[in-house]
Amino acid sequence: MTKYSAIVAACTLPLGVNALAAQTQQEKPNVLFIAVDDLGWSDVGYNGSTLVATPNIDRLASMGVSFTDGYVTAPISGPSRNGMVSGMYSQKYGMQINADLKFAQVPAQHKTLPETMREAGYRTALVGKWHVCRDANVVFDEVYDRIDISSNYFPDSTGVYDGPRLPILAVKESTYENEYMTDKLTSHAIQFMNKQSNATPFFLYLGYNAVHNPWQAEKKYYDRLSNIKDEYMRVQASLIACADENIGILLNYLENRKLIDNTIIVFVSDNGPAKGGPELKTWEGYDPSFEYVFGQMKTLRGHKVDLYEGGIRTPMIIAYKPLLREGKVFRDMISTLDFYPTICEMTGSEIPEGTTLDGVSLVRYLREETKQQPHDMLFWCRNNFGAARMGVWKLYKESDKTELYNLREDIGETKDVSAEYPHIKEKMMKAWNEWYSTIPVSASKIKK
């Protein structure tokens, strides 16, 4: 039996002492926060994926609220994840690109979401990818398999995952000794949850490195997807299928342990799909003139690192049966900045003094207690690039150009309408400039 098989078996074993205790309703709900990596908005079934089925992510969407216009705060992992867990624009503390991670710091008086949950009486854990400007060992009670930036999916000859690179494109069979990283993270997530009792609620931040490169597929998924003739996309689809199956294992675990109705589940991807270039030359048939987007853009323009929709609009779900209507589709724009205050309201946790959030609690919007929208505007910047969203309007700017799009009529951002609506462009540019005036230079640029 592989360790992966043991995970599946654990979901159907007789209930243990801790699990029996957990059947009693807790005063506060548990929180399972799942952050995947580089999964595009169009790469999930409920958003129309035709590459590979994602039945378990779709199942989670049917259990709660899915967001058509859910935005991350940056099109790359570091600043995106910082915004996600700090609840404030990471650009405000110098975090605009991944290189800033070495120099930027979340303001000392500001508590991240897991720190706030711990102060509220939660047992907290990180499993997997963190990539945030605060030491995970300080933030969490427990840390498993910490990943910063990326990791190999299979261990090297010494058993190390995050070390000397294995081939960036590979297909291998997972065994007990050669355990696939996605399975490994799920195993440790279940280990953490399994030892919790109903006396103390848990907050688990599960950061999958999937579907980030290196593109190393588990053989059973690759074999299953022989219908996909494009080798690049077949590997990518294998990563997605594996991540989806692991999410199904987690949902089954929560259901079998009678925890599903008392657990807030958040699912989000940190940015859009990656684009591969010269690093793909290890794959047979590599075309050096070709740059490959590992995902289905469908109607969206752009990809990871872009401030077009493909880089910053990602799959997002919040499920919590006692409070939210199942299968609801929310169509107003929201941000990952909103997760922090939303979880605090759902769990009855106070936001600590000295912590200033840029997001809003979504509870009253999701419960249809108001017809207002959560945000009038959202903003982005990445060095010389900027963007803003206001209602149906999207402003995009580079150092030498500024564009305006009507996303209701043109979600693919194909037609710049700034000449037709100069007043809209001017209004959004003024608002963006006011926001940007509060943003310092990237921390890494200061160090240079």
User: CA 127 to CA 290: how far, in whole Å?
Assistant: 35
pLDDT score of 149? 85
Q: What are phi and psi of 251, to 5 degrees?
A: -65, -40
- pLDDT tens for 51-97 read 999 999 999 999 999 999 999 999 999 999 999 999 999 999 999 99
pLDDT score of 280? 62
Q: Are 358 and 88 in contact (CB under 8 A)?
A: yes
- Give the burial string for 101-138 (b: 16+ CB within 10 Å, else e): bebbebeeebbbbbbbbbebebbbbbbbbbbbbbebee
Q: What token pair was written down for 87?
A: 């609840």
Enumerate residue ranges in the chain where pLDDT < 70. Answer: 1-26, 163-165, 277-297, 448
pLDDT score of 17? 35
Helix (H) or strand (E) holding 268: strand 263-269
DSSP state letter for 14: P
Domains and CATH numbers, the chain: 3-366 (3.40.720.10), 378-447 (3.30.1120.10)
pLDDT score of 16? 36
- pLDDT tens for 132-171 read 999 999 999 999 999 988 899 999 888 889 865 677 888 9
User: CA 306 to CA 271: how far, in whole Å?
Assistant: 9
pLDDT score of 42? 93
pLDDT score of 27? 80
Q: Are 71 and 312 in contact (CB under 8 A)?
A: yes
pLDDT score of 166? 76
Q: What token pair was written down for 118?
A: 């711990």
pLDDT score of 407? 97
